[in-house]
Amino acid sequence: MSNLPALNASLNATAAVLLAVGFVLIRRDRRVAHARVMIAASVVSAAFLASYLTYHFGVQSEVGPTPFRREGAVKVAYYAMLLTHVVLAAVNLPMVLLTLWRAYRRDWDRHRRLARWTWPIWMYVSVTGVLVYLCLYWWNPEAAVE
């Protein structure tokens, strides 16, 4: 269970790659391939959400949160990124679901209008999810031993 943060980051990175591929495919008017890739991005993101909730409501409640130990401007930048990541993730979930619903219903005009907002927010959330992981588990100095 302690490997869940790395799994979560991997799922976010995979979602970001799939989102980029989906973007390229729709720009090339490859609609069927675009649909398949976006469904894959949705499945990966759903797996991320399940793993994230398992970690935060299971593992983290036992071991406690991982503190960010850097100071100064780096700390301010980290918390600004974390805040925007969390807020946009919450906003994005219903947007993704509605965008998928509109595609399922073949309501292409409304799908396209919403996807223009959903895609960049989803991409930002996926990429910053990886960055939050790196900040906490790779670029975060060890606590001083007393």
Q: What percentage of residues in the chain have a pLDDT greater than 70?
A: 97
To the question of pTM greater than 0.85 for the whole model, the response is yes
> Which pLDDT belongs to residue 64?
84
Amino acid at 98: L
> Which pLDDT belongs to residue 146?
61
Which segments of the chain have a pLDDT < 50?
none
Residues 6+ apart with CB under 8 A from 62: none
Which alpha helices (H) appear in 4-107, and where do they start and end? 4-27, 31-54, 60-63, 73-104
Q: Distance between CA atoms of 6 and 137, rounded to whole angstroms?
A: 9
